[in-house]
């Protein structure tokens, strides 16, 4: 009996022996398959997440408009499907040529603003020399979205100081923004730049009425002026001119300079401010306003400025527009609340007569007209 039991046990052991290697092989294969599947699934999820993040980044950047070259450069090897998604939401591909230029300009300005300040952040050094009190940072809500402000400030910096380098352009831009916040001047950037442009003489910035804007534009200097204007509208302050609201070239000696306080000199320009309470920081308390979105179209602060500039007489049309919007103000004198109330009456607008611009002069010698003080 015992021999029979031992024989049955040996037979069962002999039948199970071939199954053990097969079972081990199947288990090992299953484990390897699970590991490979998990790895593939994880890689797929990670890749999908990366592609989605890249697509969202490019789509967000393209909301202001991208050229194909800039989009490809920012893609950085982006997957073709994600790139197609970004292009489908890119307004640059569906906008007209004029809108594309404006979108590209605003995108460049935003990117320059996001770079942040490169100035050293160390401790301030004590300066015992007499320096002007710097103006407060100029931050107009949505200034970069209101591209007319950027265009007008670019024009002022370029035509008044294109031969003065970056500091000269920053000084001119600071004067324009100082005027915007002063009670004696219009409250928009374009209103300040084109104040008096409807007159044969007496325009506040000479390039608006002497034909300078009809000349050929230097691309390098224009791009520099655009960068300066973008920084100024984003809060950059040029302290060398303080709260100056007037300037002239060293080649002239206007009589009004004797009634002003000289602030300093930048390049070939001398800068002045009002004296007394009219020139104090409290006088620069007015809230600036975005320039009107209504055209006539002026020269655009675009990427390629070498296109023909505006035709003669457009400055007159723009000044008439300002008059219709009641955006003019007395020049060179403070405005009291009573005077502001008197000036708030509607201004009769006359139809502009065609005029022949005077002979063009060198932009480097352009100067601000004398104030009536």
Listing DSSP states for 237-303 in one string gives --GGGTT--EEEETT---GGGGGSEEEEEETTEEEEE--GGGGSGGG--PPP-PPPSPPPP-----S
Give the position of tokens 């527009």: 321
- Residue of 201, 362, 154, 127 whose CA lies nearest to 268: 362
Per-residue confidence (pLDDT) for residue 175, from 0 to 100 = 94
Q: Are 149 and 235 in contact (CB under 8 A)?
A: no
Beta bridge partners of 368: 205
Structure tokens belonging to residue 183: 């009670």
Structure tokens belonging to residue 10: 């040996």
- Alpha carbon distance 29, 44 (integer Å): 22
Per-residue confidence (pLDDT) for residue 182, from 0 to 100 = 87
CA dihedral 235, 240, 246, 252 (to 10 degrees): -140
Per-residue confidence (pLDDT) for residue 184, from 0 to 100 = 86
Q: CB-based burial of residue 132 (10 Å sphere; 0-12 exposed, 13-18 middle, 19+ buried)?
A: middle
Per-residue confidence (pLDDT) for residue 371, from 0 to 100 = 52
The whole-number mean pLDDT for each consecutive block of 10 residues of the chain, a chain of 373 residues, reads 61 59 77 81 74 68 56 63 70 55 64 54 43 58 63 93 92 93 88 85 85 89 93 88 90 89 92 82 65 45 40 40 45 36 38 42 45 43
Per-residue confidence (pLDDT) for residue 218, from 0 to 100 = 92
Q: CB-based burial of residue 136 (10 Å sphere; 0-12 exposed, 13-18 middle, 19+ buried)?
A: middle
Q: Where are the alpha helices (DSSP H) in the chain?
A: 2-16, 19-61, 68-75, 80-88, 97-114, 147-161, 165-180, 189-193, 219-233, 314-324, 337-343
201 Cβ contact partners less than 8 Å away, ≥ 6 residues apart? 209, 369
């Amino acid at each position: 009996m015992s021999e029979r039991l031992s024989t049955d046990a040996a037979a069962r052991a002999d039948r199970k022996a071939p199954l053990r290697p097969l079972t081990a092989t199947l288990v090992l294969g299953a484990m390897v398959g699970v590991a490979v599947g998990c790895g593939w699934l994880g890689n797929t999820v990670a890749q999908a997440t990366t592609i989605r993040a890249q697509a969202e980044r490019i789509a967000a950047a393209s909301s202001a408009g991208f050229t194909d070259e800039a989009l490809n450069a920012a893609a950085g090897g982006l997957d073709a499907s994600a790139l197609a998604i970004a292009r489908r939401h890119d307004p640059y591909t569906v906008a007209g040529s004029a809108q594309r230029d404006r979108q590209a300009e605003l995108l460049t300005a935003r990117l320059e603003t996001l770079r942040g300040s490169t100035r050293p952040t160390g401790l301030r050094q004590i300066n015992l020399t007499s320096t002007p009190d710097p103006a407060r940072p100029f931050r107009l809500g949505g200034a970069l979205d209101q591209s007319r402000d950027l265009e007008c400030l670019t024009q002022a910096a370029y035509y008044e100081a294109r031969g003065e380098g970056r500091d000269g352009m920053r000084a001119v831009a600071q004067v324009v923004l100082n005027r915007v916040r002063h009670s004696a001047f219009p409250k928009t950037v374009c209103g300040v730049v084109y104040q008096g442009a409807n007159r044969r003489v007496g325009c506040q910035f000479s390039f608006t009425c002497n034909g300078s804007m009809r000349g050929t534009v230097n691309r390098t200097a224009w791009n520099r002026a655009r960068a300066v204007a973008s920084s100024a509208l984003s809060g950059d302050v040029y302290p060398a001119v303080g709260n100056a609201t007037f300037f002239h070239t060293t080649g002239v000696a206007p009589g009004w300079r004797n009634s002003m306080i000289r602030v300093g000199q930048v390049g070939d320009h001398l800068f002045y401010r009002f004296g007394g309470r009219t020139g104090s920081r409290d006088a620069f308390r007015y809230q600036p306003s975005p320039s009107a979105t209504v055209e006539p179209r002026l020269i655009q602060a675009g990427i390629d400025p070498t296109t023909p500039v505006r035709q003669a007489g457009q400055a007159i049309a723009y000044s008439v527009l300002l008059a219709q919007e009641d955006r003019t103000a007395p020049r060179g004198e403070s405005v009291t609340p009573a005077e502001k109330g008197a000036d708030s009456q509607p201004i009769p607008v006359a139809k502009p007569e065609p005029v022949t611009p005077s002979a063009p002069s060198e932009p480097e010698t352009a100067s601000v007209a004398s104030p009536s003080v």
